[in-house]
Amino acid sequence: MSNSSASNRFVDRIGRERLSRIALYVVMYGIAIAFFIPFWRMFQLSVTPAGLVASGEFFLIPSDVTFAYWERFLVQEPIIYQWAFNTFLIASITTFLVLVVDSMIAFSLTRLKWPGRSVVLGVILASFMIPGYVNIIPLFTVVNNLGMVNSYWAIILPFAAGPLGVFLLVQFFRDIPKELEEAARLDGFSPFRIYAQIIMPLSTPILTALGLFVFIWSWNQFLWPLIVLNNDQLYTLPIGVVTLRSVNALAPNVIMTSLALASLPLFIVFLLFQDKLISSVQMQAGTG
């Protein structure tokens, strides 16, 4: 490259490359800081005394700090523990159910030969076209008729049979070599043992990724729990923090503390499983 251009052009090119490198850092870190500001605002307000908030002035670091609001939620009004427990329970059961039910049907569709299985797969994949929210009114009447309103099952069951898990697991199971299974069959393994002792252990990576994604999705569900829950002992965190807002309409620092507490668990999950979670998002692009 260098022998084809004059030496001053070469220097110029090095200078330009360094300049564009600097610009790249400025842009990328600038956006990162902009993305961080709302988090900072949340944390900042949660430790700012009410008097300072009421002054309505703009500040980055509050001149005075209090942990009274954190104490209020953690010690004095511990309803947030109940909500966290509800959310955790619902998200865990949903994740477990999705993994079991989806892996069973994916096993059936890829490893067992029965007439009509390709039609079944086609129908399930076609349901990708139906966005979850368009159906909420008839779905509510169904759940209501089953007597499940105001119970955890109303949140767990309706979205447990989604197409995403089936799609991902079918692709993964297809690539597991047939030989393993044939050897096991010669050893007298039943289909159930092949599923439980061969296919499932081999699929740990994809099951973890799918499970993590389902867990976070379930934890963050908003519209549907809002419809089927109306008892504050049963609320999940996403619903609970909204009702707190209407009670504490004029105290942003109280609200911000509840939000910080509500988002903390998933933040920890994200910190621990950053790579796993991001790769579980990336897998989904294959569904397009």
What residues from 1 to 20 belong to the interface with another protein (CB under 8 A)? Answer: 1
Say how far apart CA 270 and CA 7 lie, in whole Å.
50
Q: Tell me 20's DSSP state.
A: H
Q: Tell me 115's DSSP state.
A: T
What residues from 250 to 279 belong to the interface with another protein (CB under 8 A)? Answer: 252, 255-256, 259, 262-263, 266-267, 269-271, 274, 277-279
Instruction: Read off the tokens for 123.
Output: 């129908």
**239 binding another protein? (CB under 8 A):** yes
Say how far apart CA 170 and CA 244 lie, in whole Å.
43
**73 binding another protein? (CB under 8 A):** no
**39 binding another protein? (CB under 8 A):** yes
What residues from 166 to 205 belong to the interface with another protein (CB under 8 A)? Answer: 166, 188, 190-192, 195
Which span sits near another protein by CB under 8 A: 64-72, 73-81, 88-96, 151-159?
151-159
What residues from 92 to 111 belong to the interface with another protein (CB under 8 A)? Answer: 100-102, 104-105, 107-109
- The CB density around residue 251, as the number of other CB atoms within 10 Å, is 17
What is the torsion angle, in degrees rounded to the nearest 10, for the CA atoms of residue 69, residue 70, residue 76 and residue 78?
120
**220 binding another protein? (CB under 8 A):** yes
The residue (of 14 and 27) whose beta carbon lies closer to another protein is 27
When binding is defined by CB under 8 A, the residue of 79, 93, 125, 136 that contacts another protein is 136
The residue (of 66 and 140) whose beta carbon lies closer to another protein is 140
Least gap, CB of 51 to another protein (angstroms) = 13
- The CB density around residue 41, as the number of other CB atoms within 10 Å, is 13
DSSP for 47-103 reads: TS-HHHHHTT---SS-SS---HHHHIIIII-THHHHHHHHHHHHHHHHHHHHHHHHH
Say how far apart CA 124 and CA 212 lie, in whole Å.
22
How many residues make up the chain in this entry? 288
**287 binding another protein? (CB under 8 A):** yes
When binding is defined by CB under 8 A, the residue of 130, 180, 183, 272 that contacts another protein is 130
The residue (of 59 and 81) whose beta carbon lies closer to another protein is 59
